[in-house]
A and B are shown apart, each in its own frame.
Chain A
Amino acid sequence: MSRLKLTGIAKEFGAIHALDDVSLDIKPGEVLGLMGDNGAGKSTLVKIVAGNFAPTRGEIRIDDEPVHFHNPRDAQLAGIEVVYQDLALCDNMTAASNVYLGREPRRRVLGVNVIDYAQMRARSSELFAQLKSETRPRDLVRRMSGGQRQAVAIARTLLSKPKIVLMDEPTAAISVRQVAEVLDLIRRLRDQGISVVLISHRMPDVFSVCDRIAVLRRGTLVASKNTHASSPEEVTGLITGAIEAA
């Protein structure tokens, strides 16, 4: 059984072929490292799986069922969560509001639906504790450190007990200690049976958490192999094109 199966995914923006015939298969609880140079198509692939773009061709299956996403909400309902590279946080709002952005719980007061801030704060607090983060639900994101912001973005994905979490360069702009925490978190997600797609430029991160590594070059998948059967040197070669395919 595969959790996420991509078959022949292609995406064209006018004359530009961003992705061409990409097929991938991810099992439950598997961590896949997605690597490639800038412009290789990693972000495009993530956006297709996350429901931001529809693929020009190809099929997406989740738990062997074909799915069609018209917007990010469809992908969320199918169990796909994304941590975006820029984290997609609203600086002017609190941590709790950001965790729940777009799916605020509501309760009825005098026959009117109002946002249930108490529930939002309580649940976000639990998630931050689970992430061992010192982030407080009422703090404004504007006044947070890079690691705290990361925790808010990751807590957001955990809200819906996801099947697959896509992470776009989660370790690119944070401190060494926070990198270790994020990698620990990825392992915790995996232990709960959540599949993780980790997009990263950082070879050590990918080799320390990923079960498998897939390499994209100019929109084509040039490798998809077990981490222990590969090496940083080989992956570097695949990314740059020094090695044609593996």
Chain B
Amino acid sequence: MSSSIESIIDQSEHRNILSRIMNVQIFWVFLAAVLACVALSLYTDTFATDRNLFNVARNFAFVGIMAIGMTAVIASGGIDLSVGSIVVLTAVVVSTFMADGYSFWLSAIIGLGAAMLVGAFNGILIAYAGMPAFVVTLGSLSIARSLALVVSDNKMIWEFGPDNDLFLWIGGGSTFGLPHPLYALTVIAIIAALMSRWSRWGQYTFAIGGNEHAAVLTGIPVKRLKVGIYMFSALTAGIAGILMAGWLGSVTTNLGQSMELTVIAAAVIGGANLAGGEGNALGAVVGALLIEVIRNSLVLLHIDPFWQNTFVGSAIIIAVAFDRFRRMRTSS
């Protein structure tokens, strides 16, 4: 009797408090994005057009896909600065193979393989050599972009062989009125969200971020998992790279430059805690959406684009301040 009452209290308390705390940041960020959209629809006649909404949906998908991978890395207590360079490396590898007459699918597999090789390089140095993630991925940020320059000889690639049209369709086309990158984002977000809650891998990622020492002591294969996490981040960057190249219809070696900062911002705005142990795939998507809406609104409102990063930077600081405030309230 008493135990059933206890369990009911237990459950009702947690339904309310826990679910509210878990979702509060995503909820507010999402609300901010929606409010911005409503305001823009009212004050401009350029925002709520099919063309503009299509562009927003496509543009935020690239950052969103990468932010999901970044969220896994941050939740495990790490950071991945190399994602922007993995974008260009993958795009260059894929387009070079395609230009040489290989099929899209084979080239994509090789490109994603190259991306995951960079991820494995990061992960092995971080997990097995115990080097700081910041330094390792800062190094591969330079290395991967440099390799892209070497492979492409710093020439723009804009002819993609026999599968040229397929390549442009996959990155730049649409189905049922929605851009293809948005489909990729949806699939990756759903898989990542389910994995983080319901798979051991997902839970171990949070365990490593929460207390890596405890994870080791309980026999979790921490090192292998870390390598896997950095490879996953690299894979999402590789997928974004292929989609971006197909959308742009050409690959230049400045593709994805300084994109890592936007991606980290999206993950943090979406609730990833840079101290590790917290993060949410859906939050990453919502964070990416908010950044893209801010960016888009500045363009439509004819605000000097030089201000863009001021607004994005402010959004990061507000998100972290919000989280800090929430923590102070719950701990007291």
Set A86, A102, A113: member contacting B218, Cβ < 8 A: A102
Contact B203 A115, beta carbon cutoff 8 Å: yes
Flag if B18 contacts A138 (CB, 8 Å): yes
Contact of B215 among A86, A101, A115 (CB under 8 A): A101
A236 CB within 8 Å of chain B? no
- When distances are taken between beta carbons in the complex, the residues of chain A under 8 Å from B203 are 93, 97, 104, 115
Whole-angstrom CA separation of A103 from B203 in the bound complex:
11
A113: nearest residue on chain B (CB-CB)?
B199
Which of B34-42, B145-153, B205-213, B227-235 forms contacts with chain A? B205-213
**Prevailing SS type, chain A contact patch:** loop
CB nearest to A129 among chain B residues: B3
Stretch at the interface among A69-77, A194-202, A219-227: A69-77
Task: Report how many A-B pairs have Cβ atoms within 8 Å.
Answer: 74
Which residues of B168-214 are within 8 A (CB) of A?
Answer: 197-200, 203, 206-207, 209-211, 213-214
A97 to B203, CA, bound (A): 9
Q: Which of B259-287 contact A (CB under 8 A)?
A: 277-278
Query: Is the Cβ of A114 less than 8 Å from the Cβ of B214?
Result: no
**Which of B10, B11, B18, B277 is in CB contact (< 8 Å) with A92?**
B277
Q: Which residues of A contact B331 (CB under 8 A)?
A: 143
Judged by a CB distance under 8 angstroms, whether A182 is at the interface is no
**Cα A76 to Cα B220 with chains together (Å):** 13
Decide if B217 touches A88 in the complex (CB within 8 Å).
Answer: yes
B14 touching A101, Cβ below 8 Å: no
User: On chain B, which size bracket covers the interface?
Assistant: 20 to 34
The size of the chain A interface, using a CB distance under 8 A, is 30
**Among B10, B200, B218, B277: residue with most chain A CB under 10 A:** B218
B305 close to chain A: CB less than 8 A: no
Residue B130, interface by CB 8 Å: no
Chain B contacts for A64, CB-based, 8 A = none
Per a CB cutoff under 8 Å, which of A97, A102, A106 touches B219?
A: A102
The interface residues of chain A lying within 8 Å CB-to-CB of B210 are 90-93
Chain A to chain B: the 10 pairs with minimum beta-carbon distance, closest first? A90-B210, A102-B218, A92-B277, A88-B214, A92-B210, A73-B219, A114-B198, A88-B217, A90-B211, A101-B218
Beyond contacts A84-B214, A114-B199: 17 other A-B pairs, Cβ-Cβ < 8 A, are: A86-B214, A88-B213, A88-B214, A88-B218, A90-B277, A91-B211, A92-B206, A92-B209, A101-B215, A101-B220, A102-B215, A102-B218, A102-B220, A113-B199, A115-B203, A138-B14, A138-B18
What would be 12 A-B contacts, judged by CB atoms less than 8 Å apart? A73-B219, A86-B214, A89-B211, A90-B211, A91-B277, A92-B206, A93-B206, A97-B207, A101-B218, A101-B220, A115-B200, A138-B11
